[in-house]
Amino acid sequence: MAATPGLSRPVIRRREPLVAPSGWPADVHPVLRRVYAARGVSGPQELPRRLAELVPPDRMGGLAAAARLVADAIDEGRRIVLAGDYDADGATGCAVGMRGLALLGAREPRYVVPNRAIHGYGLGPGLVELIAARGADLVITVDNGIAAHEGIAAAKRRGMQVVVTDHHLAGDCLPGADAIVNPNLQGDPFPSKALAGVGVLFYLLLAVRAELRARGRFPDRAAEPDLGSLVDLVALGTVADMVPLDANNRLLVRAGLERIRAGRASAGVAALLAIANRQPKVVTAQDLAFTIAPRINAAGRLEDITIGIECLRTDDPARAAALAAQLDAINRVRREVQAGMQAEAETALARALAAGARIPAGLTVFDPAWHAGVVGLVASRLKDRLHRPVVAFAPAAEGSDELRGSARSVAGVHVRDVLVAIDARRPGLIPRYGGHAMAAGLSLPTTALPEFVRLFNDVVREWTCGDPGEPVIASDGELAGREVDVALALALRDGGPWGTGFEEPAFDGEFVVEDWREVGAGHLKLGVRFAGCGTRIEAMHFGGLADGEPGARVRLVYQVALDEWRGASRARLLVRHREDV
């Protein structure tokens, strides 16, 4: 990690076991047991593996009422329209909803997704006009709606029923929908608060199936639609949205990965894996999060998310392959746009530091030439580099006097609550906002930007006492050279799914650098030996040259990965952080 003037070097902090390991079968790798203990998992009984072990739908508030409304619409042949979102969670949710409703017997369900530049986020009055043109009788929001007061009111005036499915935090007043399904509503008894939007929609489908079963729609269990066929899409949306992988989410992701590995992925997921050169038989949650999801998100950021939804909806492999190729091309453009914006932000930061400026506790960045669809990625990179909350803004559209912003935060600073505090201090300054603890979105008049910059920094500074804390890199401790082999790499790969809140195992230790060379553009391939034991192993540090040339002795934070080449397997290290010793 390259040093930034005025910032502390990251601190490597080793995880401590939260529980005592117990009851593990002999074939569970000892290192994996240690990793589980540091994540609060004491034994196999805490790692559910079957969909039947999901938290039952009847524990989620509002779900029974929503299921009755949807079942009524299906029974009566009324038109259901999904109101989606333009990120991967919303796209997978739309695809799951379209597929699931069709399986349950809905009459030609349809979907509408807002255009980022025209409609903004969520179910607004403008989007309701499009929904009305689709002939909607019942609107189901997907990954949005909990703050859509005006849009829901507009839909109700047109005689539509509205069911909200969302997972974002609600404001003080709930919208006037006919039913609301959101595990994060105050007082909701559902224990898994970390469901992504696609997960909430999947639960609605499960509840609708149960309601139709109770009405005698299915003569026997063999006639019931297999909603388990949707779990690869649920897994993709869950890891894409980076929600915490609690036990319930891990179960959904595991089921999806098992379906993909068994060769039963949807045509779209299979096509996206193929174009990303990922093998379905060994796919991981990281493959979904960092190779597949960005291709879907790119369409919503730069063009039209319906390209991604259609890729995930189709059963035609040829059409899926064509759409996947289109998504891949858009993602390449997205990377170029992002790289340019990131470089501009870094240059502006360097100039400010060189001029003696201090980095504010809460940083706001803006450039009138930036693309609104990519500012979230810029904010995320700056947040990681500077270890403080960042909001990045861009014009909502060319010539617009409105800005669209994306906020990313660090542990200990709930960024949506920061926006709530700003709204309380200056009512009306932020017309629209919403989000989570770690990420949020907002709209802002261009003229309001200076005041927002001041207030964002003020609130964050007050909440952190002016000290954002040290950037911390978590480690699962040190490994001996003899422990790092193919068996460990396989155990760690298959011991997940790993992700947010159940982080992929990483280890740290000192190494002697025997040789290194640059590969690709700025990546490093190193030959290193474990200090003290002499075991040699290859290490890859992607982007590592940005940290300078490695010294003769280094401390690494790394992951143990399986390297397969021409039929041979070996373990290697993937470097996540490097320091000269």
Amino acid at 382: L
pLDDT at 163 (0 to 100): 98
Give the CA angle between residues 512, 518, 521 to the nearest 5°. Answer: 140
pLDDT at 117 (0 to 100): 67
How far is residue 366's CA from residue 439's CA, in Å, rounded to a whole number? 17
Q: How confident is the model over 359-399, as pLDDT tens digits? A: 899 999 999 999 998 999 999 999 988 899 999 999 988 77
Closest to 545 measured CA to CA, from 516, 569, 565: 516
Q: How confident is the model over 38-95, as pLDDT tens digits? A: 999 999 988 888 899 999 999 999 999 999 999 999 999 999 999 998 889 999 999 9
Query: At 536, which helix (H) or strand (E)?
Result: strand 536-541
Answer for the pair 486, 569: CB distance below 8 angstroms, yes or no: yes
pLDDT at 8 (0 to 100): 62
**For residue 516, what are the β-bridge partners?**
526
pTM: predicted TM-score of the whole model, two decimal places? 0.91
pLDDT at 532 (0 to 100): 78
Q: Which residues contact 395 (CB under 8 A, 6 or more apart)?
A: 368, 370, 372, 402, 403, 404, 446
pLDDT at 471 (0 to 100): 84
Long-range contacts of 444-448 (CB under 8 A, 24+ apart): 444/393, 444/402, 444/403, 444/404, 444/405, 445/401, 445/402, 445/403, 446/395, 446/401, 446/402, 446/403, 447/401
User: Which domains are delineated in the chain?
Assistant: 11-43+473-580 (2.40.50.460), 56-329 (3.90.1640.30), 358-464 (3.10.310.30)
Answer for the pair 80, 134: CB distance below 8 angstroms, yes or no: no
Answer for the pair 275, 326: CB distance below 8 angstroms, yes or no: no
How far is residue 471's CA from residue 412's CA, in Å, rounded to a whole number? 12
Determine how β-strand 110-112 pairs with β-strand 80-83: parallel
Which stretches of the chain drop beneath a pLDDT of 70? 1-8, 117-118
How far is residue 413's CA from residue 462's CA, in Å, rounded to a whole number? 11
Q: How far is CA 523 from CA 257, 287, 376, 547, in A?
A: 29, 20, 25, 10
Amino acid at 185: L
Residue bearing tokens 């379209």: 98
pLDDT at 3 (0 to 100): 47
